[in-house]
Structure 1
Amino acid sequence: MKILILGATGFIGSVIAARLRKDGHMVTGLARNPDRARIKHPSIDWIKADLAEMTDPSDWRAALSSHRIVINCAGALQDGLSDDLAATQEKAMLALYAAAAQSAIELVVQISARTEGGGRDQPFLATKRNADKALAANGLNHIILRPALVLGRNAHGGTALLRALAAIPYLLPLIHAQSPVETVSVDDVAAIVSAAIAGELQSGTDIDLAASEALTLRQLVILHRNWLGLPPAQVVPIPASFAKPVTWMADIAGKLGWRSPLRSTAMAVMSEGVLSRRDGQHLPSRRLATAAETLEANPSGVQDLWFARLYLLKPLMISGLALFWMLSGIIPILAPTGASRHLLPFMPDGLAMALTLITCFLDIALGAFVLVRPFARSALFGMLAVTLGYLAGGTLLEPSLWLDPLGPLVKALPSILLTFATLAVLEER
């Protein structure tokens, strides 16, 4: 059977795609960068598409052609430079349903969320809720699945943050430490999607997916710390008000294209916990793996420990480089005459001043652009190129600067290493 998966490159979607390929289905995925997706998932057919631009039924006709089932695993936590929730999670879905009703689509499986409770008015949950209601009212055969916090071999978003919190040394500072959290294995989610496609679930079913136990956030972080093989650490509950500066900075980062799980939407949801709906449907005939069983089935390796320790360092690395480069450009501008004195033995005053100002503005631009997600990689490579240029120029014009252990040439070396390290951890998925 030919199946179209939205969000097939994501944490949940990639596992569902692998399960359906194992079941013998032909899977097609939508991707903004299909060439890159094809390298990682060569057994899937890929279509170049951006959901934010597919807000009219006509935009879907070619993608739906020859497919019989659509599985929507796409989603984003919050509006930002890289995400438009209204377009991606609502307008595009309404256009999809309208186009599907006029096509040969036999079933739409929607991977949604619990859209009530804490944070229900946040755009993430509001757009999900509107899309769910539209799907239920459309007349299409459909199944809506609402996973709790999804755990698996890989990690993204909230699950990545769990690992990062668990890896903090000595003390574990937690906000909403006593909030209850239900979990579900990503493999169980994929198995239930497989069952839905096999006709084991009735059309119109709207199911909460969660294991039978609910842990507190504190218990879940400690469980992950044990999974990472780290020694016990004291949990330090932090008042929710203390999170506001972090949430504010995370929201700003979101507007620059970074998908931080510490944004206000996540904090609003966690204020109440991650729980199933009181009146929601469950799967009485299928037992879902607990958090402990899920982690035990996926033993951690050193790569998991590295990821957990680097996760919270990554934004510090990026902001540290941005600050370093912007200050290296701003400070000389405050005293340009003194900054240009190294160039005076080799060129006229005017040219030395012009070159000094050009390099200052270049440094400031690189520091600013590395903060913007779509430009971050190019800015990092630019930093490397400019640094090597400074080193070559400094060595050629004034090699004695190497003899000063606090001089600009020596200081450039750790900057190069930090830039390479940031490039190594830049990808989000």
Structure 2
Amino acid sequence: MNILILGATGFIGSVVAARLAADGHAVTGLGRNPARARLKQPAIDWRRADLSRMAKPEDWGDLLEGQHVVVNCAGALQDGLSDDVAATQADAMLALYSAAKRTSRPLIVQISARTTGAAGNLPFLATKRRADEALAASGLPYLILRPALVLGRNAHGGSSLLRALAASPLVLPLIHADSPVETLAVDDVAEAVSRAVTGDLRGNIDLAADEILTLAELVRLHRQWLGLPAARVFSLAPWLARPVTWLADMAGLLGWRSPLRSTAMTVMSEGIRSAKAESGLTTTSAAAALSANPSGVQDLWFARLYLLKPLTIAGLSVFWLLSGLIPLLALEKTSAHFLPFMPDATATALTLATCLIDIALGAAVLVRPLAKRALLGMLAVSFAYLIGASLLEPALWLDPLGVLVKVLPSILLTLTALATLDER
């Protein structure tokens, strides 16, 4: 069969795409940045598209041509610079359903979520509910899957945060440590989609393993999987998370998709539960899902670096902002370093230019779409500073305050930020 997968570069979508391709189907994968996915899975026909810009039926015409099944694995947790929740999860889906009814009326498989509870009225779940209800009323053949917290070999979002918390030194600091959590292996989701393609499943299905763990138990399980010694859970009052959640929301407005944003915290406040009924599907427990893919040192590195990554970006931003702002407070004194080599006006202009460059880089690195270019700019400017200072005033290497020496660790920190920048 010809199958179109939305969000095929994501955590769930990439596994579903690989499974359906292995089943012998002709798979077309849709994603905003499929270049790397094209290298990893060349058997899939990759197309670049942004669902938030596909709110009209005519936007779907060419993509739906000849497709027998459409699997929607795309989603957005919260509005931000990189995401429009309503456009992605509701408007685009309604346009898709309308276009599908005009073509071959393909089967629509929607990867959704439980849309009730404390977070039910937040945009993330409200838009999913709107799309689910529209699909059920569309007259198209459909399957709506509502998986619990999905675990797999890779990690993204909530599963990444679980690993990061599990790798905490000495103690495990948790908010809502006793919240109930149901889980599901990502391969179980792929199996359900595979079964739907062959006609075995239709309707609405909540998917979860036959166990309920607390958040603390799930984090301990991940800690064991990472090969770390047992640690005591340190329960934190929910109000302590508010500053972190606020910062995560602000980062979201700049394009960073943190699992610590307010929507995720609201969902976790009451736990992750399902209303699963008999579906005939075999599900995998959390312990079995993890043990099926033993961790390696790369997993330990990822877990330990995950929460350091935003601190690294923020630290670099502060460093560059201050390095540009502080000299402006004493512009004449700072420009004096250039006076032996150029006129006063030129020295002042050059000093002002370098300060503005530093400030621009410090601000740009906070904006997710600009972060890579900003980091590369930091490297280029750092090496330019080192080379220029070495040629014009080499005595600065011996300055007691380490004016030039301090640039070297900042270069290493910038390289670390570049190495950990990718999210998928």
TM range, smaller chain: over 0.9
Instruction: Say which of 317, 324, 329 aligns to 1:322.
Output: 317
Shift in Å, 1:405: 5.1
- Write the distance in 1 (CA, Å) between the matches of 2:272 and 2:400: 53
Q: What amino acid is the match of 2:261?
A: R
* CA deviation profile, 1:138-183 (whole Å, cap 9, x unmatched): 0000000000000000000000000000001001110000000000
Instruction: Say which of 380, 397, 418 aligns to 1:385.
Output: 380
Instruction: Say which of 259, 262, 280 aligns to 2:260.
Output: 262
- Write the distance in 2 (CA, Å) between the matches of 1:64 and 1:36: 24
Q: What amino acid is the match of 2:187?
A: D
Q: Which residue of 1 aligns with 2:113?
A: 113
Contact 2:192 2:281 in 1 (8 A): no
Contact 2:188 2:282 in 1 (8 A): no
Shift in Å, 1:260: 0.2
Bigger drift between 80-89 and 346-355 goes to 346-355
Shift in Å, 1:411: 0.5
- Gap runs ≥5 in structure 1: none
Match of 1:409, SS state, is coil
Match of 1:9, SS state, is coil
Contact 1:118 1:273 in 2 (8 A): no
Q: What amino acid is the match of 2:406?
A: K
TM-score, scaled relative to structure 1: 0.97
1:23-42 aligned at under 5 Å gives the runs: 23-42=23-42
Q: What amino acid is the match of 2:312?
A: M
Match of 2:416, SS state, is helix
Contact 1:208 1:282 in 2 (8 A): no
Q: Over aligned residues, Cα RMSD in angstroms? A: 0.9
Shift in Å, 1:32: 2.0
Contact 2:170 2:231 in 1 (8 A): yes
Identity of aligned residues (%): 67
Match of 2:46, SS state, is strand
- Write the distance in 2 (CA, Å) between the matches of 1:408 and 1:40: 44
- Write the distance in 2 (CA, Å) between the matches of 1:35 and 1:180: 38
Q: What amino acid is the match of 2:124?
A: F
Q: How many residues align?
A: 424
Q: Which residue of 2 aligns with 1:140?
A: 140
Instruction: Say which of 232, 243, 264 aligns to 2:241.
Output: 243
Q: What amino acid is the match of 1:123?
A: P
Q: Which residue of 2 aligns with 1:100?
A: 100
Shift in Å, 1:21: 0.8
Match of 1:28, SS state, is strand
1:347-426 aligned at under 5 Å gives the runs: 347-404=342-399, 406-426=401-421
Instruction: Say which of 258, 270, 273 aligns to 1:272.
Output: 270
- Gap runs ≥5 in structure 2: none
TM-score, scaled relative to structure 2: 0.99
Q: What amino acid is the match of 2:265?
A: M
Shift in Å, 1:85: 0.6
2:410 paired with 1:428: no
Q: Which residue of 1 aligns with 2:58?
A: 58
Shift in Å, 1:98: 0.3
2:183 paired with 1:183: yes
Bigger drift between 390-399 and 336-345 goes to 336-345
Shift in Å, 1:30: 1.0
Q: Which residue of 2 aligns with 1:231?
A: 229
- Write the distance in 1 (CA, Å) between the matches of 2:158 and 2:400: 43
Bigger drift between 307-316 and 333-342 goes to 333-342
Bigger drift between 28-37 and 59-68 goes to 28-37
- Write the distance in 2 (CA, Å) between the matches of 1:292 and 1:36: 31
